[in-house]
Structure 1
Amino acid sequence: MTEMVYGSVRDQVGEPVLPRWWRTIDKWTLTCVFALFGIGLLLGLAASPPLAQKNNFGDFFYVQRQAFFGSVALAIMVMVTMMDPAKVRRLGVLGFGGAFIALALLPFFGTDFGKGAVRWYSMGFGSVQPSEFLKPAFVVTAAWLMAASQEIGGPPGRLYSFFIAIVVVMLLALQPDFGQASLVLFAWGVMYFVAGAPMLLLIAIAGVVVAAGMFAYENSEHFARRIDGFLNPDIDPTTQIGYATNAIREGGLFGVGVGEGTVKWSLPDAHTDFIIAVAAEEYGLILVFIIIALYATICVRSLWRLMRERDPFIRLAGTGLACAFGIQAFINMGVAVRLLPAKGMTLPFVSYGGSSVIASGIALGALLAFTRTRPQGEIGDVLIRRGR
């Protein structure tokens, strides 16, 4: 529809796929992703041996698994970046259908691995967390519906996307997984805002979210315990938050030295949810600032390139993916320094986890595919032509 209205310019005829891909891809974002994965392996070498020894595995068991899953994730990411937006959209919609069914069946076939929340399918050799794959697929599906609603005679896509978001949030809250639920709702809200939602409607939705949070606090012991722990001015030094904040404090600017940190021996989730505490203790705030800069570069550059994109679906989907990626990193690091209540959320490409890193690879692959330079002109060019 967009090309019918605005027209487009054809690709260079006969140009090979790889040279065209390399010419159009955002190389800075791609480099930042590989850098984050490399930092994740480096931190895994420090954080995972204590858990491996506890479980009677080799010292580098979890690092080797992360290297394998990460290599698969990066390969998938590169393959997705080579797809055109229409193929990414079809992949996202199909993936959403499969992930949604898997999420709905979790109460019957899932397991909690003793963590109090049924979020995983045990596969014997490993586990799969459907919510990780649901996030990028949901963003693409919601963007497709919102973009379709802008076409003449199009369906009420914004309303459909809202109902889908509410159902997904309810399924996640039942696990309970309020962190992923808030992330899905945040991504939908950002896309709805970009699509031109009225501010009064967004304020009303925010009020509903606050009311839902109060209801969850009154009726969910899991949710109330985390909120109470966050609001308590005294930090119990024997809790995960206590260990993490102390490790960050001890690390200072330059860290205590490679391999000299102690938090990895105390934190059961040092290699996943609290990997940033290991980075801060052993390498100091210098490495933490580098990690933050890498995430910021990915998000800012992606949003900057999307601002010049004239296809509504690409703008919406890319914005949702970039913001969801950035806010997940912010939440993970915010929990570690006690800016936010504990959420149980991984640090993309850095934390250990097969589902997390592969899903992040899919999400960033789609984002890089959307931000590739396409020979269609930019939205600014269209506006200038219209003003003449």
Structure 2
Amino acid sequence: MRTPALPFPTLLAGFVAVLVGYASSAAIIWQAASAAGATAQDIAGWMTALGLAMGVSTLLLTLWRKVPVLTAWSTPGAALLVSGLQGVSLNDAVGMFIFANALIVLCGITGLFARIMKIVPHSLAAAMLAGILLRFGLQAFSALPQNLWLCGSMLLAWLAGKALAPRYAVVAALLAGSVAALLLGDVNATAVHFAVVVPRYIAPHFEPALLLSIGLPFFLVTMASQNAPGFATLQASGYRVPASSTIVITGALALLLSPFGVYSVCIAAITAAICQSPDAHPDPHQRWKAAAAAGVFYLLAGVFGGSITSLMAALPVAWIQMLAGLALLGTLSGSLVQALAQESERDAAMVTFLVTASGLTLGGIGSAFWGLIAGGLCFSALSLARRA
């Protein structure tokens, strides 16, 4: 019997990769856009633009290289934006997106990707990310007493998923929470509608303090916590792709579409592993078809970005907070492990973590930047003391 050109497990892998990506972080993007004062219509446009950008980039890189290269938005970057964009206008947010994506393109053109990652100690970058993500974990569980049945069902479903099928734990929490919200009558059915929303152009405005306090940490988080693991996942799966040209393509696409809400286009890690595994196809040379299928599903998700946004708006805030917290739990714990792995760097990493998590603002510059500065000073002083 002839093997089909696109076996069902390969097609399913592409669908699951996109589903997990959206389930894991669509709620976080919603919070980030809302923090900048975006309306539901604006957010729908952002989701449309992001879906189309990821679909185009995934198909372009995968079909060009015949390698399962899956792209994604930066989930850690979105988490940083939730706190960083509080009280910031959409025009300033777009200016920051352009600034960060321009730096990413510059890294690809000059080949500075690896070098820049060496400037900031990995323990400090991980500690900064952990400080940014801490609020999501606290936010998720602080909503538990007032929403016991909703949040409790999501937590139990996530726990069962972690025990039985870890890859789909967040999807299980999403489904359980949706069912619980329906049964409890917490779903605003009138907000659900199916429509195609055209992204709106937002003129950028460049505020130097915001570029420094949000744009620079956002750039570092995106490169260290999204692009670097994405390339590592490709290499671990036995696939080699040129880093510089790939970064230029994803960064340039994000730069071009930044005024429409595309804050980042990165190399995926967790969702990409679904398309790069033997479950997607027994032949490693055929697994690119799973990523190509994911690219098509991304395009479909982009076209119906307005529908996805209306579903998010119809669900209670506690559902969004719990889902975001559970989705980022693994990233938070992994960041803490990396931050504290080296005993000689722990003190500096803890200073970075605590200053970042504190949410302080000095001179109009946010805590992520000051966390890195404080941790860097401690790191340098303690390193000099040890050498002396």
> Could you say which TM-score interval applies, normalised by the shorter chain?
under 0.3
Structure ID, larger Rg: 1
Greater RCO structure (CA 8 Å; 6+ sep): 2
